[in-house]
Amino acid sequence: MSRDNEKLHIVMFPWLAFGHIIPNLELAKLIAQKGHLVTFISTPRNIDRLPNLPPNRNITFFKLPLPKLHNDLPQNAEATTDVPYDVVQHLKSACDALQQPITRFLQSSKPDWIFYDFVPYWLGSIASQLGIKSAYFSIFTASLLGYLGPSPVLMGEDPVRTHPLHYTVSPDWVPFPSTVAWRYFEIMKISDGITHNHSGVSDMYRFGASIRNCDIVAVRSCSEFEPEWLQLLEQIHGKPILPVGQLPSSKNEDENENEMWQWMKEWLDKKEKGTVVYVAFGSEAKPSQDEVDEIAVGLEKSELPFLWVLRTQRGPTDPEVLRLPKGFEERTEGRGLVCTRWAPQLKILGHESVGGFLSHSGWTSVVEAIQEEKPLVLLTFLADQGINARVLEEKKLGYLIPRDERDGWFSSESVADSLRLVMLKDEGRIYREKVKEMKDLFVNKERQEGYINNLLDYLKAHTKIQRGSQDE
């Protein structure tokens, strides 16, 4: 078969976390729709757990088993959601051990481009040695990357951030006024990613090297939303920064999902329009037991109906299994529903009874909330969530539950008050309105297509296509 001169082959390798894999898959689908070929690399179990795709001859899934290392990674743990937070570092080590097999794969398949994530920071230089173009694809916003700063800072060559407190202020390289920074309790929770590193490499170093060694940075962003940050990125990194749009989730009609969905839908159908608060914190964030207690009592005090998707455990080896307060389910029977399994979030958010979303501020959840016009109440736990929350707060797209600056403590009253403010009160009207205003910008199909066309035009223009008579 003669290969079309215009047809690109792109390899994608997202970090082994569903919060990364899913937006990568959305991007892969959009690229495939334009007739290009995508090879999507992950581990066998992660690929088996992906949402069912309609038949798609343009996407090939390539299963790469994790090498067995002598560390504390439990058997069958292949994604961050499978392991307690402190074991994620071991998953990073295992991911680093994929360097050889991925190199061999690239040598034999000779793609035009590889899109990689921040954990396999070594992929950019391998690709360039093999004559393959590379993009660091950030599922994180341009605000986060801009806040993280230049590669020399991230890689410790320019040690301006030596203490967690340095992460709580707007840095010198941000030339405009901005609230974007972690709060003290947020950075303390993830300080292991900055300093200690069981995998031998800190997260900051991974970001720095990923950006330094790629040809372009592709960002889940749109220039209408954070133009100043995209511009800043181009300045500080001196390479092309290409926003790929917000990658709204596509609806899928999975059978399993339908069964769970029928049960939830029946329950939601009986509630009044716009009254139910949906509570969910993504596939990674897990509250502490004290936080669960406070959230639960807060939901009781709010007197609102609620649907709470609560992950009680991070994988089967997680020793800390969360419990609901004694008598909670009896006291809230009929008014509240707690689901401890995976749930079809986009469908829930799309139901008209749902009137607000108590979320961890993960960007996929944020995009889904905006997609379904549901106002956000935010409670951050990990990683980029604090930074996302600052951005949303600046734009009045989310209301943060008030917390103690030092330890992040929040009370059940503040949970109840925040929910009622955003969902019912006049002072909270702005949050309900802004989220609607933003919808077109985030999920408009043509706008999204425009970003993909722009990206593909760039990739094509910068690919050495010497295929004339080359048949494959």
Ligand X SMILES: *[C@@H]1O[C@H](CO)[C@@H](O)[C@H](O)[C@H]1NC(C)=O
Q: Which residue is nearest to ligand X (CB)?
A: 35
Minimum gap (Å) between residue 106 Cβ and ligand X: 23
Minimum gap (Å) between residue 81 Cβ and ligand X: 25
**Which one, of 80, 79, 36, lies nearest residue 59 by Cα?**
36
Minimum gap (Å) between residue 3 Cβ and ligand X: 11
Identify which of residues 35 and 402 has a Cβ nearer to ligand X in the complex. Answer: 35
Beta bridge partners of 385: none
Identify which of residues 57 and 270 has a Cβ nearer to ligand X in the complex. Answer: 57
Minimum gap (Å) between residue 193 Cβ and ligand X: 10
Identify which of residues 187 and 391 has a Cβ nearer to ligand X in the complex. Answer: 187
Task: Answer for the pair 95, 88: CB distance below 8 angstroms, yes or no.
Answer: no
Residues whose CB is less than 8 angstroms from the CB of residue 429 and which lie 6 or more positions away in sequence, other chains included: none
Identify which of residues 56 and 107 has a Cβ nearer to ligand X in the complex. Answer: 56
Site for ligand X in 325-364 (CB under 6 A): none
Identify which of residues 151 and 332 has a Cβ nearer to ligand X in the complex. Answer: 151
Per-residue binding string, ligand X, 51-90, x by CB under 6 A, is: -----xxx--------------------------------
Identify which of residues 8 and 421 has a Cβ nearer to ligand X in the complex. Answer: 8
Contact segment (CB under 6 A) with ligand X among 115-123, 197-205, 254-262, 327-335 equals 197-205
Contact segment (CB under 6 A) with ligand X among 135-143, 161-169, 193-201, 325-333 equals 193-201
**Which one, of 301, 302, 259, lies nearest residue 277 by Cα?**
302
Can you read off the two tokens belonging to residue 459?
């990739």
Minimum gap (Å) between residue 321 Cβ and ligand X: 31
Residues whose CB is less than 8 angstroms from the CB of residue 231 and which lie 6 or more positions away in sequence, other chains included: none
Identify which of residues 32 and 438 has a Cβ nearer to ligand X in the complex. Answer: 32
Minimum gap (Å) between residue 58 Cβ and ligand X: 4
Task: Answer for the pair 459, 240: CB distance below 8 angstroms, yes or no.
Answer: no
CA atoms within 13 A on the CB side of 356: 29
Identify which of residues 107 and 195 has a Cβ nearer to ligand X in the complex. Answer: 195
Identify which of residues 194 and 419 has a Cβ nearer to ligand X in the complex. Answer: 194
Identify which of residues 6 and 320 has a Cβ nearer to ligand X in the complex. Answer: 6
Minimum gap (Å) between residue 468 Cβ and ligand X: 19
153 binds ligand X (CB under 6 A): no
Per-residue binding string, ligand X, 28-47, x by CB under 6 A, is: ----xx-x------------
Minimum gap (Å) between residue 244 Cβ and ligand X: 17
Site for ligand X in 198-217 (CB under 6 A): 200-202, 205
Compute how many residues bind ligand X; rule: CB under 6 A: 11
Task: Answer for the pair 428, 302: CB distance below 8 angstroms, yes or no.
Answer: no
Minimum gap (Å) between residue 250 Cβ and ligand X: 12
Task: Answer for the pair 275, 355: CB distance below 8 angstroms, yes or no.
Answer: yes
Minimum gap (Å) between residue 162 Cβ and ligand X: 12
Identify which of residues 59 and 309 has a Cβ nearer to ligand X in the complex. Answer: 59
Among 125, 168, 197, 252, binds ligand X (CB under 6 A): 197
Minimum gap (Å) between residue 467 Cβ and ligand X: 15
**Contact footprint for ligand X (CB under 6 A):** 32-33, 35, 56-58, 197, 200-202, 205
